[in-house]
């Protein structure tokens, strides 16, 4: 048979010993630090999860990143919890090395993350394989998130969407108090620390002002090695949310990703006319309470780990 090879005496035993030694390892949960960033990214690449170093560093600053380390010293599992003021937290970066699965590592990590914020409702965006685990831990599906990707943005702004009383400009430091207040109303919790960090990462920003000069919406866009992620996007309605996205997308040449809650079907249809395609629909799950805070003005989330 092509590709078959003779296994020398003792070789199979070595492979069995290696597998046995992995299964017998006693692993404890650790709080990860800056020195672990490269190893976490290595695990992310292994699992094709796409986390960049900048994202992991931001999570370390905004919340808690936990994990298990193998006997060889490499990170083999992770989970992060980001608490926001207002008794709401986001769970993400749940990863387990293939060789260490079915040992309960993810269950223990998620439970430990939840124990850090015992009085909080915890939200997450689940993968299909992770959903049963979260259901066992008391999470319930409360929404879905539409991941949209454009290989190339096709500018097609409908004429009726351009409104005379709107103006767009980049976000300045003086805009922060107004922007943070607007975001808290749209998101349902105060995430000032996270947004300040996200603004530093952002390559493109756009703020929407009405005729009186008041901030009524904003959008951020953060680059990764593979694409540009637009989010969060906060706006009074879907038409103005589209204009914010358009203001950023027209400035970028390359692949763009945006994550939109299912309630905003009008915005999804707008974007599909401009080259975006649906890549995935993922369940949004919560523990503690089984409904999302009202989020009529949150048109795109930052990314899967941040809520």
Give per-residue burial for 62-84: e unless 16+ CB within 10 Å, then b: bbbbbbbbeeeeebbbbbbbbbb
Residue 2, pLDDT above cutoff 60: no
Calpha distance 106→76 (Å, rounded): 10
Q: At what angle do helices 176-187 and 192-201 cross, to 10 degrees?
A: 120
- Global confidence as pTM: 0.86
Average pLDDT of span 51-77: 94
157: nearest Cα among 255, 61, 273 = 273
| Residue-wise pLDDT tens digits, 74-106 | 999 999 999 998 889 999 999 999 999 989 999
pLDDT tens-digit series, residues 213-252: 888 999 999 998 889 999 999 999 998 999 999 999 999 9
DSSP labels, 215-283: EEEEEEEEE-SS-EEEEEEE-SSHHHHHHHHHHHHTT--S-EEEEEETT-HHHHHHHHTTTEEEEEEEE
């Amino acid at each position: 048979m092509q590709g078959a090879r003779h296994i020398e005496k003792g070789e199979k035993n070595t492979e069995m010993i290696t597998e046995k030694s992995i299964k017998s390892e006693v692993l404890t949960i650790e709080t990860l630090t800056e020195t672990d960033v490269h190893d976490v990214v290595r695990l992310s690449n292994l699992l094709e999860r796409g986390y960049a170093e900048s994202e992991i560093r931001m999570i370390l600053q905004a919340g808690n990143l936990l994990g298990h380390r193998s006997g060889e010293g490499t990170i083999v599992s992770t989970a992060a919890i980001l608490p926001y003021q207002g008794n709401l937290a986001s769970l993400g970066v749940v990863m387990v090395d293939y060789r260490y699965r079915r040992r309960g590592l993810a269950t223990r990590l998620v439970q430990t993350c939840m124990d850090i914020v015992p009085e909080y409702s915890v939200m997450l965006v689940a993968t299909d394989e992770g959903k049963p685990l979260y259901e066992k831990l008391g999470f319930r599906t409360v929404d879905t998130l539409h991941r949209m990707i454009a290989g190339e943005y096709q500018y097609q702004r409908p004429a009726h969407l351009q409104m005379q009383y709107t103006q767009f400009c980049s976000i300045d430091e003086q805009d922060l108090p107004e922007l943070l207040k607007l975001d808290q109303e749209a998101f349902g919790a105060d995430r000032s620390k996270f947004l300040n960090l996200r603004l530093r990462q952002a390559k493109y920003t756009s703020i929407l002002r009405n005729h009186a000069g008041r901030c009524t919406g904003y959008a951020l866009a953060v680059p990764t090695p593979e694409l540009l992620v637009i989010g969060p996007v906060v706006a009074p309605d879907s038409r103005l949310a589209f204009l914010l996205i358009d203001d950023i997308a027209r400035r970028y040449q390359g692949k763009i990703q945006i994550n939109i809650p299912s309630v905003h079907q009008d915005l999804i249809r707008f974007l599909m006319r401009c080259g975006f395609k649906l890549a995935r629909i993922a369940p949004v799950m919560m523990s503690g309470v089984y409904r999302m805070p009202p989020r009529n003005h949150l048109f795109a989330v930052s990314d899967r780990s941040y809520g």
